[in-house]
Amino acid sequence: MRIESKEMCPVLLLQFREAYERSHSGEIIEVRTPWAAAVDALRELSLALGSEFLGFEREGEEYVIRVRVIKDNDKK
């Protein structure tokens, strides 16, 4: 699932949370945003949700952030 957003927090976090709710375990959510602060915010949110923060990279003016969804029923 991919989110491309020029929105700042908290809108970007709400978009991520909606994508997370629609996703299945094992899926990757990719977020593209120009906001550097989104990296730390999404790292914290993904860990709070029990998912795996896969990292980020910079592509031009955008940060590309990837999170692997892990739902409660898949945690060991």
Cis peptide before 34 (omega within 30 of 0): no
| 69/5: higher pLDDT | 69
Q: What is the pLDDT of residue 74?
A: 55
CATH of domain 2-74: 3.30.110.40
Task: Over range 52-75, report the average pLDDT.
Answer: 91
Q: What is the pLDDT of residue 23?
A: 95
| pLDDT per position as a tens digit, 26-63 | 999 999 999 999 999 999 999 999 999 999 999 999 99
Global pTM value: 0.87
Percent helix / strand / coil, the chain, rounded to 5 = 35, 30, 35
* Residue ranges covered by each domain of the chain: 2-74
What amino acid is encoded at 3 in this protein?
I
Task: Over range 6-23, report the average pLDDT.
Answer: 89
Instruction: Return the closest-CA partner of residue 63 out of 1, 8, 14.
Output: 8
